[in-house]
A and B are shown apart, each in its own frame.
Chain A
Amino acid sequence: MDEQRLNHLMRQVAQNLDRAAFAELFDILAPRVKASLMKAGLDSATADDVLQDAMISVWTKAGLFDPARGGVFSWVFTIARNARIDRARRAKPLAPLDLMDWEPADEADTSEEQMVKASETEILRQALLTIAPEQKEIIELAFVQELTQAEIASRLGLPLGTVKSRMRLAYAHLKKFLEQKS
């Protein structure tokens, strides 16, 4: 995945409302967002609805994307997650807050924030290869299958405390990896 290219396309969309750039972004992002929605257990029609919402948000919110604060994939991940939650709540709208919507632009980078830069996606992909399998499993159940902690515990037949502690270990491991590599 060429993050520089992704950043370039995002900039074209944000600054010039460049439809060709958006079409190229669509071809890279939409099939992966679709895959994530299917893995989260949505049926195909609902997944398509959420996917449309998400991709339109990519267009309308492109100007809020800041590559200094994180990669395109982590931004799109949050867009798709929020689109999924919004759709599920349509009857009683309560959209999750979007940090990018209200965070002051001049907020000083903390050290933790500095590690989340444009190459984060690649670093984390590598880091995920090094994580203990039982931690990786829980991270995937949380982020990809979108199970709650309690659901993960019952799926794996583990105490809730074990699920939480594996999540903490996984996060600590990935964070350390990011700090070393950046």
Chain B
Amino acid sequence: MSVSHHLDDATLLSHAAGTLPRTLALVVDAHLEMCPHCRAALKAANAIGGALLSDLSPAPVSSSLKDAVMGRIGSATIHRLPRAQAARQGGVPLALQRVLRLDSLDDIPWRKSAPGVHIHKLPKEAGEAGFFGLLKIAPGAAMPEHGHGGSELTLILQGAYHDELGHFGEGDIADHDESVDHTPVAEGEQPCICLVATQAPTRFRSWPARVMQKFIGI
């Protein structure tokens, strides 16, 4: 897998700061699993947080709190070794497994939404707007109009497409502000499966998200 479309630096900084909405953060985590480039960039962003932390004037911490922590560490379980690297079984990143609860993309209970378009919604929490779920788009599915909207992340889990922003294949993330004007073309034989999170019910930019909007009316 050779990832060529990465996270926007602003997305990366917000993720490091821990302020991305949960659904977007989960798509970012899934991309990070697949992308050493963005993992390295995230470390630099975390270091900015570390520098700001070290610069803060200390706030008083009660001695009883320190005593409580010193008491609790006696019985705390030590994390000895890093977990083995996530087995991305069946093409499902770890971050996604935790909400999908399936080991394989093959096991997803797709719901047909339109010719060539299947959808599987993921659970949202109270107060979360926008779309959060998986899309499966057959090669040759129709191309809806383009638009501008709020935050939107689309991670390609399987298959590929290309538009004027380039080739999007497995592991690539569409995280851009620009609208897309040209007709995108699905590549290869297999359907394109994407993980999509949007922040607001609005008009989307990436091809899979626009396909979704056209057919599902989100």
Partner-B contacts on A (CB < 8 A): 1, 17, 19, 22-23, 26-27, 30-36, 38-39, 48, 51-52, 55-56, 59-61, 63-64, 69-78, 80-82, 84-85, 89, 92, 94, 96-97, 99-105, 107-110, 112-113, 115-116, 120-121, 124-125, 127-128, 139-140, 142-144, 146-151, 160-161, 163-165, 167-168, 170-172, 174-175, 178
Contact = CB atoms under 8 A, between A and B. Distances in A.
Contacts of A61: 79
A83 to B, nearest CB: 10
Interface string B60-89: 111001101110110011111111111000
B18 to A, nearest CB: 4
Contacts of B95: 97
A76 B50 contact: yes
Contacts of B66: 23, 26-27, 30
B54 interface: yes
A35 B56 CA distance: 7
Contact of B50 (A70, A110, A165): A70
A32 B54 contact: yes
A168 B52 contact: no
Contacts of B26: 94
B47 A116 contact: yes
Contacts of B199: 150
Interface stretch (B33-41, B112-120, B153-161, B209-217): B33-41
A178 B61 contact: no
B44 interface: yes
Interface size class of B (residues with CB under 8 A): 35 or more
B54 A1 contact: yes
A69 B82 contact: no
Contacts of A64: 79, 82
Contacts of A165: 10
Given A17-B78, A38-B59, A64-B79, A26 B69 contact: yes
Contacts of A80: 53
A31 B10 contact: no
Contacts of B80: 63
Contact of A107 (B12, B25, B36): B36
A88 B1 CA distance: 35
Contacts of A35: 56-59
Contacts of B84: 102
B69 A128 contact: no
A168 B199 CA distance: 20
B179 interface: no
B39 A103 contact: yes
B99 to A, nearest CB: 7
